[in-house]
Amino acid sequence: MRQTKVRKAVIPAAGLGTRFLPATKALPKEMLPIVDIPTIQYIIQEAVDSGIEEILVITNSNKHAMENHFDVNYELEERLKASGKTEQVKMVRDIANMANIYYIRQKEPKGLGHAIMCANDFIGDEPFAVLLGDDVVINKEGQPALKQLIDAYQETKSSVVGVQTVPKETVNKYGIIAPSRSHPAKGRLVKLSDMVEKPKIDKAPSQMAILGRYVLTPEIFDFLETQGKGAGGEIQLTDAIKRLMDRQAVYAYDFEGNRYDVGDKFGFIQATIDFALDRPELHDAVAKYIKEKAEKL
């Protein structure tokens, strides 16, 4: 009997991070810190908080720092213990114990669809989650974004893509969904009739953009295996999901939460400011500094 619980997740993290050069020449972009926590740690925490038990990170040959971050560092722990820093010992050990994390390399940069295909053996015949590392989503008042999608999957037993409304002038930067006209939306859940990767602004079927969170049925691998190149000359996950729609229903869920595009410099700065303001020990100093700078603009 097929596993129906979503207990595995895939995090594609093989990109070169060229938008953040020179910082990413030697440091994986996923390790760039928002205040003092690497972006990848926020993504993994969301997966864990959503009930995910096993995580596969798709990497490349230059991502050792990311693997080391989630491993045990006995030398560091011993030095912290010797200094009486017991809280920090617990903090670094808790990071190592966050989840069962595995790694596999994407040997060639062939696109997101190809990266997901690398997880085929790990996933097997199970539904699974995908979290893109460029999207950090915080939902202070409710469930994590991924948990919202998992609940929608449990209701529909179908693939679900996470979406939010974006400004019309930016639709050409995203995969955009076309809601089904024959199936009215059920709250935040809507059945799809089509998906368009980076459409022209005047041709977009909606302003609902796919934003880095998916729950997919294992049948997606049947299409990824034969998926040709799409936008940017890469194998696109969106194209494979479109073909999956011919076999089974696919839904979109308008998830709640503040989403930060930390793969973009301005989005990264926004996240850094907001996360710093949320820290009790930093809030007053950061707020004072922002006010002082604003008066001079």
The answer to whether position 281 is within a domain reads no
Q: Which candidate, 223, 249, 246, places its Cα nearest to that of 236?
A: 223
Establish if 280 belongs to a structural domain: no
* CATH code of the domain in which 200 resides: 3.90.550.10
Whether residue 52 contacts residue 102, with contact meaning beta carbons closer than 8 Å, is answered with: no
Question: Would you call the peptide bond into 22 cis, given omega within 30 degrees of 0 as the criterion?
Answer: yes
Question: Is residue 293, in this structure, part of any structural domain at all?
Answer: no
In a domain, 138, yes or no: yes
Residue-number span of the structural domain to which 29 is assigned:
8-263
In the numeric block, the tokens 């019309």 are attached to 168
97 neighbors 143 (Cβ within 8 angstroms): no
State residue 107's pLDDT score.
Answer: 82
> Which pLDDT does position 196 carry in this prediction?
86
Per-residue pLDDT, 15:
85
Given phi > 0 = left and psi -120 to 50 = alpha, else beta, which region is 184? beta
* Rounded-to-integer distance, Cα 44 and Cα 41, Å: 5
Q: Which one, of 66, 8, 15, 42, lies nearest residue 214 by Cα?
A: 8
Q: What is the largest CA-CA distance in the chain?
A: 66
DSSP string spanning 42-106?
A: HHHHHHHHTT--EEEEEE-TT-HHHHHHTS--HHHHHHHHHTT-HHHHHHHHHHHTSSEEEEEE-
The amino acid occupying position 155 is E
Counting the structural domains of the chain, the total is: 1
Are 212 and 162 a contacting pair, CB within 8 Å? yes
Asked if residue 1 is part of any domain, the answer here is no
Cα-Cα-Cα-Cα dihedral of 193, 159, 151, 140, to 10°? Answer: -80
Contact between 176 and 192 under an 8 Å Cβ cutoff? The reply is no
Cα radius of gyration (the chain)? 20
In a domain, 3, yes or no: no
Calpha distance 137→134 (Å, rounded)? 10
Q: Which pLDDT belongs to residue 180?
A: 84
Indicate the helix (H) or strand (E) that contains 292.
Answer: helix 280-296
Give the type of residue at 182. Answer: S
pLDDT at site 3: 66
DSSP code at position 274: H
**HEC readout, 12-45:** ECCCCCHHHCCHHHCCCHHHCEECCEEHHHHHHH
Are the C-beta atoms of 215 and 127 separated by less than 8 Å? yes
pTM over 0.75: yes
Q: Does residue 104 belong to any structural domain of this protein?
A: yes
Strand 128-131 relative to strand 8-12, pairing: parallel
Q: For 109-163, what is each residue's pLDDT tens digit?
A: 788 999 999 999 999 999 999 999 899 999 988 999 999 999 999 999 999 999 9
Q: Tell me whether residue 272 is in a domain.
A: no
The series of mean pLDDT values per 10 residues for the chain, 297 residues long, is 83 89 91 95 96 94 89 93 93 91 88 92 95 93 95 95 93 88 83 88 91 95 86 84 92 95 94 97 97 91
